[in-house]
Amino acid sequence: MANDGYVIGIDMGTGSARAGVFDARGRQVGFGTAAWTTAYPQPGWAEQDPHEWWRQTVAAVRAAVADSSVDPAEVRAVSMDATSCTVVCLDGEDEVVRPAILWMDVRSVEEAEEVHATGDPALRLCGQGPVSAEWGLPKALWVKKNEPEAFARTATICDETDWLVHRLTGRWTMSVSHAAGKYFYDEEYGGWPVSLYRRLDALDILERYPTRITQVGDVVGPLLPDVAREFGLPEGVAVVEGGIDAYMGAIGLGVAAPGRLALITGSSHVITGQLAEPVYTKGLWGSYTNATVPGYYTIDGGQVSTGVLVEWFLKNLAGASRAEAAQTGENIYDILTREAGRVPIGCDGLLSLDHFQGNRAPHFDGRSRGMFWGLTLHHTEAHMFRAILEGICFGTEAIFEAMRAQGVPVEEIIVSGGATKNRLWLQMHADVSNVPLILTDVTEGPALGSAMVAAVGAGWYEDIPAASLAMTKVSDVIQPDPQAHEEYMFNYQAYKDSYESMKDLMARVTDHYSS
């Protein structure tokens, strides 16, 4: 292993670009971030502007290099990750045709049902359940059906990572991470499921995908000269193929081989791990061939609205805490966390369903919506805030439950992301699921994971598992409280029953307001 120089990992999350400069041992020596905006034109819709992505990515990389005090000439490679199923349409000149349709956008419920109705064998990747409206193919179908002029102008349909790789190198590729994870590509079954696309009259969508499928860790090419100048980096820096943010985050947590699970927290939660043999089962996505680490199968479950739901509450409903923060100067999030810690387990009978943008796993229900119930005049905004945190933890446990049912070990859970900054929330997760949570010294798992992939592309490590093992260090372990676990189980069952009792009514109301 060479130990000269540095690599950069770029993490394009839901709300911002985050870039980290790392050495060969995984030590973060510089970090930069720059936020962008999300538009919500209609209920269930979410869009972003790729031009803003680019401006903020440049800003984040330049900030990271400046923060590191590293000589830019010492940077050897760059890799990246991005949100998955974030669909970008570009014309023949590679100009953006319409705003990118963000991963959390669930407008394509009908198209997802059309995909499911084909009964194609490729649907084994959908967990023997409904196809998610989050996935890339339903969204591309939606554009074709509802915006025919935009579709006619579209020469390339890609995901966010693929768009960034093209901006960096001028070369069109499609990461197998995205192709396998969200567009039904499977190298073990011949690659693209042409029969599925034909049944949907969507061969014209398939032909718009980039034709070169690349493995995570492949060197795509050098930075374009003008991009190198924008980033403040030398020409010749290698651009290494990355993938889905949560999957690269798993690598950054040391989950690059079977036996562990990664819990990636942020705007959403993703639970993912690697399997030696594929599992196709109800309630979970996958198994995706080579989607994270070549030679393994990635299994995936997740929640759409977690950190973004917390932000929504702080912005729209936390009036008393906002007033206190304005008066005292204390952070509103800290105030609510402190007050929620004083509310007993179960929130005095108040429950929250975290399906504010639908449910990803284990129900794959784009029509489900968020809910509070059990409200009384006794309850305060601290009760509501705690109910949100508890509801998110219940949603995570429902995914763990589906994994346990298939023999997937749920014993070593490595955590990263925003929730790691909230000890109360972490303890809730540990207590609800009755498992220890392991934290690493770099909380920005996706950026570090992308840096590990860059390190492989730079030739520092033989493969991704070797890089992941060498560049990850445990910093803390949150142990569960068995008594608290027992207390949570009553409301956990009520949480599950809430969805079953309300799903048909929620579907009718969602359809009414979507028509």
Per-residue pLDDT of the chain (515 residues; tens, 9 = 90+): 445 899 999 999 999 999 999 999 999 999 999 999 999 999 889 999 999 999 999 999 999 999 999 999 999 999 999 999 999 999 999 999 999 999 999 999 999 999 999 999 999 998 767 888 989 999 999 999 999 999 999 999 999 999 999 999 999 999 999 999 899 999 999 999 999 999 999 999 999 999 999 999 999 999 999 999 999 999 999 999 999 998 999 999 999 999 899 998 988 998 999 999 998 888 888 899 999 999 999 998 999 999 999 999 999 999 999 999 999 999 999 999 999 999 999 999 999 999 999 998 999 888 999 999 999 999 999 999 999 999 999 999 999 999 999 888 899 899 988 899 999 999 999 999 999 999 998 777 899 999 999 999 999 999 999 999 999 999 999 999 999 999 999 999 999 999 999 999 999 999 999 86
**CA separation for the pair 25, 18 (Å, rounded):** 20
303-315+341-436+481-514 sits in which CATH class?
Answer: alpha beta
Q: Output the 3-class SS for 13-42.
A: CCCEEEEEEECCCCCEEEEEEEECCCECCC
**CA separation for the pair 55, 32 (Å, rounded):** 13
The model carries a pTM of 0.86
**Percentage helix, strand, coil, to 5, in the chain?**
45, 20, 35
**CA separation for the pair 465, 454 (Å, rounded):** 13
Listed in sequence order, the residues at least 6 apart from 338 whose beta carbon sits closer than 8 Å to its beta carbon are none
Contact yes or no for 159/85 (Cβ under 8 A)? yes
The CA-CA-CA angle for residues 257, 463, 184, to 5°, reads 65
